[in-house]
Structure formats: structure tokens, C-alpha cells
Chains A and B, each alone.
Chain A
């Protein structure tokens, strides 16, 4: 039983979280012709926008309802209406994804009926543009929750309900926010190699993969099309990656009856074997030679890599599903999880994290708990802790603003697991300490085995 240690501090120190509306906007960015819209003050949008740009090194479509003091007192419905109409005229999006912020949620605004009114009043003007709402106050959740809410909102708002004629080869895939652009691309290839037709929602591989279009586009270009979302009910199966995507899958099931299977992680040999077996069963096709080859490469990477992993102490801070994905990867290679920190206590996956305890907290907690660890695993903001502790940092998740190409790193399936092994082993090799007589002196002061781990259990 994993102990979940709740946050008892009043001052969060070096936040691990990015905000919930940012997570929702992220998901909307995986849809073609989309324009996410924050309902709040202009600062909410500006901060999220800058963070997205620092991470993706791309122009990111994101707009604001620009709530000011007067709107905050009188209510924001007019600003919301004006913003939607302005966006429609100026950018002609296929989807406007409204994400609420703490400001309007604290006021207790009924944004759903505000939007319903706007749609009713301007039905003609808004033809050809879907408007959906994700209720994502900043005072709850983090990226995962925002991402999942946006996907559920798109399914609820756009997908045609009722049982439909199923296309046996069509597979709906709902990936979690911890999958990179490369992961989504690779996932599609894998599914297609079985002769299946995947529809991936959201599909950041089409929109945030960093290309140079031959004209200036103000919305997203690429990603899942609104039409594909509308026809999700024709899928034979729905495959869910990450516990946080269970809710959108349930929503789809409720609307259309499409059955779903949840994969909490697609990293690690066993998890991928299960996934590949499913694909083979659903398609009736044999596992292609190329996939078998990749599996053999992973076997070899496990053999070559395990020398570097055994007994290493890893300190991870990540959102729940990514924490699970990485913690199981590391323990599967023979490491110990010395510290596990996550953003919120709402996810059921935390009970499955292979650690004694999971701290709900921030990077201040990670820094305090990671002393003596061999590797820090978190996003770019871990760089200060890494420097102060003298422990190398492996950058994962969001935001990664001080390294290029994070979206093109593969972390799932046989090849992604293989790449992760190499990445980590190379970090360890690059930080190897040469032996010295002092370090090996049998009379030096040695730590007792039970001192090795700094446990927060004693603090609580």
C-alpha cells in the first residue's frame, strides 16, 4: 500500500504543477484549426502562452477574454461573447476551446449557459465553428486534469451520440498528456502496421511537431479533425493511455457504447507486450516482423543497460500518470524510487506507483527528499535543485524550456523504452566518478544501509 503524504505547507516552493487551464489548452492544441480561449484576465493567457512557446519553440494560438476590473464586478458573459465572435471573424477556427480560469470560477460564473446563449444568438455567424467548454479553475488540478476535461468536453460537445455502425478496423485512441509528439507518431505507425485505422484525440503530432508551413496560419495546423471527433462513435474499440484518460473514455462509452481498454503505461517490455497482443487480437493480424525486431532490440537494450541501473536511487517529480510510467520503468530496471512527488492526490494510479510513499507537493519537496539520490527526474524547473544537490537531472514532461527537441523524444513502446534505457544509462556514464583512494578507504565514515534513504515518513 502506497502512503499518500498530503501537502502540509502553506508556501509552495518551486511549483511542480502547471495550471489546469494550460492542460486544457494543450489538449485543444491537438485539434486541427483550433483556437483555445482562456476566460480570465489577460495575464492568465500571457503566462501560459509564454510557457508553451518556451517549450515548443513554436507560435502557439491562444487567446483571452481579457477580463478587467469592471467585467470582474459585472460578470464576464459579454467578454466571452465578444471574444468568441472576434475569434470567429479574425481567425475562422474550426474549434474554439474555452478554458475557464480561477478568476471566473471564483466569481461562480455559469459559463456553460453563457456559451449556450452565444451559440443560440449567433447560430448563423458561428456556423462551421464548434465551441466547447472545459471548466478548469487554476485552484484545482494540474495539466492532467485540464487535458482530460478538454478531451471529455470535445467528445460531449462534438461526437455524434447513439450506437452507430462500427467500422471493424477503426480504433479510437485517447492518449494522455505525457505522450510526446514522437510518441503519438510512433503509436500511429504501430497501430497502422496491424492494418488498423487509428483516430487519435488529441493528436499533437500533427500540430505541435514543429514544421514550416508555406503560409501564415493563426490557428493550429494539423491534429485531429473536428469531423473525426464527430465520428468517433464508429470506432470498434477505444484504447486509452493513462489513467487520467479513463474519464473521457467513459464519456465516449456513455454516448456511443464504444468499449474501451485502459493502458496505464506503454513503457516497459511487459506493458508493450500486452498492447501488441491486443492489437494483434483486434486486427486478427500477426505481429509484423518489424515490431518483432523492435522487441528484440529492446531485449538487447535491457541486457546491455541493466548494469547501469541496478541499485540506483531515483527521485521523480511528475504528474501522476507520468510518475507511474517512469517509476515502473526505473524499478523494472532494478532501481529504487528514493522520492516520488506528484501534483494532486485525485488520481487512482498513485496507489500503483512502486514506491513506499508519494508526496503531494512541489520541487521544494523533491529537493528536500532527493538528497543522496543518483538521478533527479522532472521538468526543466528541476535545474536549480539539480545544481544545488549536485545530482544530474533527466528532463521529462512539461515544461522543458532549456533543451531542444523534447517533443521528438520517444518514451513509449519497444523503441521508446529502448531509447529511455540509453538516455538514462548515458546520463549515469557521463556523471561517473573516478575511483579515489579516499572514497574507497575501508576506514572512512560509511553510511549504514538504513540511512541511505531520506524518508518523509518521519516528518509526518
Chain B
């Protein structure tokens, strides 16, 4: 537990983190996790965060040392895509029973579990995750992993991020620490070259990195390691020989990028593949960093040519949606706009941003939002479900873009909704991805169901005082009512 506490202190004090730099020494020491309110908390734990970051490494066996719930309730639940191995989707857990815990058999069971996995699946590595209960009973997973690695001659990596340590975000960082301590730099590649880069924090959800990788291929840039999306263990182990890195989801893996820069002199920049201008900017930055590290400067021109060509195509495709989406109002509820260039593209084709949450936004972000929003009152920290529902049911937005957590608030308020978080079904990265996002917005807003579900049932529509069909009393009235359905006015009630 003490080494874990030291680790947590270390990742909280992140010099590359803007928010952290803005704090005084005392606040910095307190770390960045906010205390949770019992009975009013939402979100995953540190174990969840660690697993999210590491599980997309496709050929590794991920073994969760825990009673059932940690893995049994959560396996095979994310949409990262693999171009080959499927072992990462097989779930492994020690499924500790009461007897295991009472008899103190946790460590022995873990060791045997690693052996079973090695014998049956022969993976290049086993990642072993500690959890609340196994941390509480004091199982020393580092020792077990070390012993198993020696005995079985394979990489067995302890991931020390039990749920009670803190939030999902902390778990992301602890996972990165595990990679730094045990994986990256353990394999020397024999093919390192001047155009090798790492992409950090890209998860390849719905395979969306495959919308970007061909652009890099075209420029002769090789992705040494994409961590974790569609990664193989050996890619991660030899990632220290890349010349430059791009950090995609900054809050999650910033410690990984900074420490790789410190240890192996791999410069990095923070960028995004969401939106047209951001994608271009990312390509530009990658090329520049490579040139700074000794690559031929001619790549800069080739990059500009590619950007010009791809941007022109994308804007032309987007233009087709202007007529259908102009003036439509978008509510962004994502806990912080991750890419300004998505907002930029939506506004470029005439959509309005009517509100956004600024929970995770920096001061600079907030200034930007003020310029974009017509009314700064529409900037909110976090909206209570009830308020969000009230706003949407008054049709103050034509669509909400958010994560799954608020999905049903929009749907129950009969408002179009599009998932832009991890469970989403569509790839949104790169130039084609932006077009796909706009296409999905168009499909969502213009789906014919909205016209159906927003109309009240006919019997609820009757203005007060008029005869109620159901309670028609005398025979003549019944005949008249029937004739309304069957006769000349049938169109009032739909098809005969």
C-alpha cells in the first residue's frame, strides 16, 4: 500500500499538467481527486480506469485478481477494435470465493491461474490487476508476478490500481506507470527508423484509428506503437525507440508522454484527430517533430499537400449537409469539449451551439466558449438530470451530443441524441470521421420517429368539451363516429 501511495502522489504531481501547474504547493500535494459524496457519486474506479487503458492491447491475457464482480460484471464491454488477435476479449479472473479469502489462498490461486493461462493460451504477456479486496487482504501481486515471470519465462505485469485508490482518471495514470515500470523499453526493435512515432491515448474505438493511419502511411510515417488501440505487446515493449509522439486523450496518459520524453528523449505534443482542422494540425505537428529529430524536411511539403487535398474533399462533403442542418441547435454535454475543431466544423456548416458543459474545461476553454455561445448562461458546470430533462423536453435543442450516461435523459425527453463517447457505434476520427459525425447528426435529427413520438395519442388530443369517441352514448352518435373513420373524412384518422 505504501508504494501505491507514493505512486499516487507522483502521478498527481504532474508537471506537464496545466491544471496542476496552476496550483500552489499545498493544493498540489492534495492531489487532483475530489472527495466523492456517498449516495451522489457517479463514475468508475481506479481499477476500471486501468483496465480501460490497458485492455485494448490485443494479444495480452488480462487477468483480474478479484471476487467475481470486478471482471464478471464488466468484461467485453468496450468497442475498441483489433486487426488481429482476440485474446484481449477473453475474460480471465481468479473469481475469489469466500473460502479463498478466509483461508488466505489468494496468492496461490493467482499463481496457478497464471500457469493455466500460459499453458492454454501462450500469450506474450499476462497483465495482473489488483482490486479492492485483494489489496485489502494484502495479496502481494508484485511478488507473485515476479515469481511467475521467472518460473514461466514470460512477461507477467502487475497493475496496481485497486478501485478504492480513487477515480477512473487515477487508474488511467497508474496503468501508464505500470507500462513505464515493466513493459516499455524491455524489447529492442531491430527496425527503428527516422519516421517512427507513437500515438498515446488512442483507443481505436469502432476502429476509428484506421481512418487516420492510411494518412500517416501515405506520408511514410510509421506508427511504432499506438497505445493502447489495436496494440500488440511487442509494439508497446519497443515503443521507446520512436522519434516523436502524439498524445491524444491528454488527461488520461499525460504522465506516460512526459516520462517517455524524459527517459528516452521522445518529444510529444497534445493533439486530436477529431475535426478537420485538428486532424490537419496533428499531421503538421507530427511532421515537424520528426524533422526536428532528424527526418528529411521534405516531409513538411508533402504533409501540406496531403492536408490541402484531404481538407478540400472533407469540406466539399460537409457542404452537402448545410442545407439540412443550418440553424439546428446542438447541446454538447460531454464534461468538457474535447475538440474545438468539431465545434468549429459544426458551426462552419451553420449549426448553432446552444449549450455546453465546462466541467473539465480550462480557463482558456471557457473564454473560447463565451465567444461561441450567444448567451453565456448556456455554459454550465454540470446540469442535474432533472434540469437537463426540463430543458430538452421544452425542445430548446435539436440534438444532444453526449456520453451514454445521459442518453436516456435525451431519449425520454424525446430529443435526438448521438453518442460521442466510448460506447459509440461509429468512427469519428480524421477527415472522413468528421463527415461521418455530421452524417450521423443529420440521420438522428431527421429520423421520422420524432414526428410520431412527439404527437400525443389521438384521444389525449381531443380539446375539452368535444364528444369523446369512447364514451359515445346513443346509437346515432356511434354511427356518426364510425362514419368519420370510414367515410370521406377518413384521412383525419389515417388509413382505412
Contact = CB atoms under 8 A, between A and B. Distances in A.
A and B: interacting chains: yes
15 contacts: A9-B116, A10-B94, A10-B115, A14-B75, A19-B68, A37-B39, A41-B132, A42-B44, A42-B167, A45-B41, A63-B40, A66-B37, A106-B101, A212-B414, A218-B386
A142 B73 CA distance: 11
A43 B70 contact: yes
A59 B137 CA distance: 35
A41 B45 CA distance: 7
A37 B37 CA distance: 13
B389 interface: yes
A19 B132 contact: no
Max count, chain B CB within 10 A of own CB: residue among A9, A46, A58: A46
Interface in B354-403: 385-386, 389-390
A15 interface: yes
Interface residues of A, number: 66
Interface string B21-53: 000000000000001111111111111100000
Among A44, A79, A84, A216, chain B packs the most CB atoms within 10 A around the CB of A216
A22 interface: yes
Contacts of B77: 50-51, 54
A131 to B, nearest CB: 12
Given A42-B43, A138-B68, A139-B96, A15 B132 contact: no
Interface of A: 9-15, 17-22, 37, 40-48, 50-51, 53-54, 58-59, 63-69, 71-72, 79-80, 82-87, 90, 101-103, 106-107, 137-140, 142, 212-213, 215-216, 218, 362, 364, 381, 384
Q: Which one of A22, A68, A87 has the greatest number of beta carbons of chain B within 10 Å? A: A68
A44 B95 contact: no
B427 interface: no
A80 B98 CA distance: 23
Interface in B141-173: 163-167
Contact of A63 (B39, B73, B113, B166): B39
Contact of B100 (A11, A139, A212): A139
B251 interface: no
B136 interface: yes
B470 interface: no
B278 interface: no
Contacts of A139: 67-68, 96-98, 100-101, 133
Contacts of A67: 132, 164
B166 A59 contact: no
Given A43-B47, A47-B74, A139-B100, 9 more contacts: A9-B116, A12-B92, A15-B71, A15-B93, A17-B72, A44-B69, A84-B39, A102-B67, A218-B386
Contact of B39 (A9, A72, A87, A138): A87
B112 interface: yes
Nearest to A65: B38
A46 B48 contact: yes
Contacts of B292: none
Contacts of B163: 41-44
Nearest to A63: B39
Q: What are the 5 closest A-B residue pairs judged by CB atoms, nearest first?
A: A43-B45, A83-B39, A86-B39, A11-B113, A83-B38
A184 B421 CA distance: 35
Given A10-B109, A47-B48, A139-B100, A101 B69 contact: yes
Contacts of B71: 15
Contacts of A66: 36-39, 41
B232 interface: no
- Please indicate which of the listed interface residues B43, B73, B453 has the most CB atoms of chain A within 10 Å of its own CB: B73
A80 B167 CA distance: 19
Contact of B385 (A103, A216, A364): A216
B96 to A, nearest CB: 5
Interface string B72-88: 11111100000000100
Contacts of A364: 90
A64 B38 contact: yes
B235 to A, nearest CB: 24
A287 B386 CA distance: 48
A47 B73 contact: yes
Interface stretch (B303-311, B341-349, B404-412, B486-494): B404-412
